Structure 1
Amino acid sequence: MGLFSKQFANVVEWEEFRDDMIFYKWNNKEIKKGSRLIIRPGQDAIFLYNGKIEGIFTDEGDYDIESQIIPFLSTLKGFKFGFNSGMRAEVLFVNTKEFVTKWGTQNAINIPTPSLPGGMPVRANGTVTFKVSDYVKLIDKIAGVRQSYLVEDVRIRITAVLDQLLMKWIVKEGKDMFNLQANSFEIAEGIRADLDMQLFDSGLSVTGFNIMSFNYPEEIQKMINKNASHSMVGDLGRYQQIEMTEGIASGKVRGGSTAADMAGMMMGMNIANQMLKNMNEQANLNPGQQTGTGQNPSGQATSSKPNFCPDCGHKTEGANFCPNCGRKLI
């Protein structure tokens, strides 16, 4: 008896486990007397009989099916193994971890904007995180007709509706078309909620959605970069002067060209203006260094013209004779 019992024994387990596989269905063998169930970390085992859930086992371990599993099954708890017959049941193994997959827009999305009649063509990419949340829905919609289910299957399903969701949440609150990255968190949260509803009936739950970048056409991106650089400079005239000066110093702008001649003239005018400004400032700081007695600090007499005529009081404006009465002033 022991010999035949050992011959019929088999192992119910997730064969050829793949990290990107969401579930695997064991149903190609008959469960015999002496069979064992192996549940590994990160797996749940669901016993199915005639398409109906008989029991869900979540603790990892190595179990004797006859003594440790069958007593907990709904309609098979009194099942007795025969000598030549076994139990024809299915076991669905479910991967309980969170899955992360990358996504990207299949085509450029033309976002309506007043500045571009045909819309702004935008592409985007990022990651989405999901997991199995409802075994009943999973079996009813997917596992009932499939032997396994991969992350790639879910990614294809997500990307099929992602373009429409991106357009919906970009347009919804009138986002700045030229600075979508600043609003990426709000856009991503809206898409995550909508995707979660899309996968709800399949027993899957979207736990995270991330937008890594928005990509514009090359011409639009150049305009955005140029506008950003102008904003950072502030004084555009001063920026142009600095760029011209650095160009001459580096040899990028050479003599003999119109640009070089203009740059040289501008530099000369700037130097002359600066010298004149310095002279005026010096004159204002030291107005003749005159004393009240008409003498300089060394004691020598100095000639000075009065600002007003001593006779008529008219302003002299530095003249040798009063322009009103004609009196000699020096």
Structure 2
Amino acid sequence: MGFFRNQFSNVVEWEEFRDDMIFWKWSNREIKKGSKLIIRAGQDAIFVNNGKIEGIFEDEGEYSIDSDIIPFLSTLKGFRFGFNSGMRVEVLFVNTKEFTVRWGTQNPVLIPTPQLPGGMPIRANGTFNFKVTDYVTLIDKIAGMRESYLVEDVKIRITSVLDQLLMKWISREGKNMFNLQANASEIAKGIREDLDMEVMDNGISITGFQVMSFNYPAEIQEMITKTASHEMIGNLQKYQQVSITDGIASGKIKGGGAASDMAGMMMGMNMANEMMRNMNASPTRDQRAPERAEGQDQARNDKQHAGGESQSPPPASSPSEGKSKPNFCPNCGAKNEGSNFCPNCGHKLG
């Protein structure tokens, strides 16, 4: 507080300004004749008398209480300063800027998930933004009982309900519990709306809420990283196979113990199952070829036996067969037992 030439003059200003202070109350003192009001950038000055707002001054600058302030106060326009007496009012200075606050879960939030009966322990961190938007409510609920109000006070109230809101919106929007970051925007939007309702009765609005990251326990994060590297998310059998192989290769699973015996048994069973699947698979082209040829020969024999009536000649022998005799007479179709002439019609076969 400073003094001018007149010993009764004083200065009304925010004497204890701090960047993290939301409001500060100039109170329990008389405003004397000739006093000055100083409003700095980012501040509003609210004159309060008997708990009622008399006037709000928003423009920065220096004002004379006598000529610039009193004539504009709602119910004190007729007030006249006496020579030795003053006017006892309260002046509430409000920080008008938007505050940005970092937040983080103090303890893991247990998110219900079918994969873990006890819930998935998740930590999260980020920022939120707020500002004062309703002076009447602020004075009625907070300033009427406090001389100042800090950002830390708002943060304590926000973090007291944040765990429940994280659980609510992660469960609602977090379809993939192992990739929550993909839904971070929708989760943050829902939390901001709920927080805004929570602090609205203090004259404050939540203007933004951001989730920077979700953090899993070390063992869960290791599992996510390993499954992602092997492109096996959701395939527990393959993950187990890779884990056993990695354990043996790294020496974590050593021979001679129960763990090694179990690992060997599981690997043997997996290899046996794989071999059975291959054996039961459909035959290859080379396997099918002899079966197809044998079927064709049988069909041709059946046709020729029945074709003594149809007299359908058998296919001619290829030159690559050399001097081999046909099995059937090309003239009459009778069966040949290796003779040079058909035993039925005498046709030359060789």
- What is the count of residue pairs matched by the alignment? 249
For 1:230, the equivalent position in structure 2 comes to 230
Describe the superposition over 1:248-298 as per-residue Cα deviations: whole angstroms up to 9, x where unpaired: xxxx9xxxxxxxxxxxxxxxxxxxxxxxxxxxxxxxxxxxxxxxxxxxxxx
For 2:317, the equivalent position in structure 1 comes to 312
Q: Secondary structure at the match of 2:30?
A: coil
Q: Is the 8 A contact 1:314 1:324 kept in 2?
A: no
2: distance between equivalents of 1:183 and 1:43? 38
Cα separation, partners in 2 of 1:314 and 1:114, compared to 1, 3 Å = farther
For 2:114, the equivalent position in structure 1 comes to 114
Quote how far apart the aligned CAs of 1:324 are.
4.0
Q: Is the 8 A contact 2:129 2:207 kept in 1?
A: yes
Pairing of 1:98-177 with structure 2 (within 5 A): 98-173=98-173, 175-177=175-177
Q: Which runs of 5+ in 1 are unaligned?
A: 253-310, 317-321
Quote how far apart the aligned CAs of 1:173 are.
3.8
Cα separation, partners in 2 of 1:315 and 1:173, compared to 1, 3 Å = farther
Q: Is the 8 A contact 1:5 1:33 kept in 2?
A: no
Pairing of 1:133-282 with structure 2 (within 5 A): 133-173=133-173, 175-231=175-231
What letter matches 2:318 in structure 1? Answer: G
2: distance between equivalents of 1:73 and 1:24? 20
Q: Which sits farther off after the overlay, 200-209 or 223-232?
A: 223-232
Describe the superposition over 1:64-116 as per-residue Cα deviations: whole angstroms up to 9, x where unpaired: 00111000101111111111110000000000000001111121111111111
1: distance between equivalents of 2:157 and 2:125? 16
What letter matches 2:147 in structure 1? Answer: Q
2: distance between equivalents of 1:186 and 1:4? 57
Question: Which of the pair has more CA radius of gyration?
Answer: 2
Quote how far apart the aligned CAs of 1:312 are.
3.4
Quote how far apart the aligned CAs of 1:30 are.
1.0
Q: Which runs of 5+ in 2 are unaligned?
A: 233-237, 251-315, 327-350
Q: Is the 8 A contact 2:174 2:183 kept in 1?
A: no
The answer to whether structure 1 residue 94 and structure 2 residue 94 are counterparts is: yes
Describe the superposition over 1:37-82 as per-residue Cα deviations: whole angstroms up to 9, x where unpaired: 0000000000000111000000111000011100010111111111
Q: Is the 8 A contact 1:54 1:75 kept in 2?
A: yes
Cα separation, partners in 2 of 1:66 and 1:116, compared to 1, 3 Å = same
Pairing of 1:14-29 with structure 2 (within 5 A): 14-29=14-29
Quote how far apart the aligned CAs of 1:174 are.
5.1
2: distance between equivalents of 1:128 and 1:190? 13
Q: Secondary structure at the match of 1:168?
A: helix
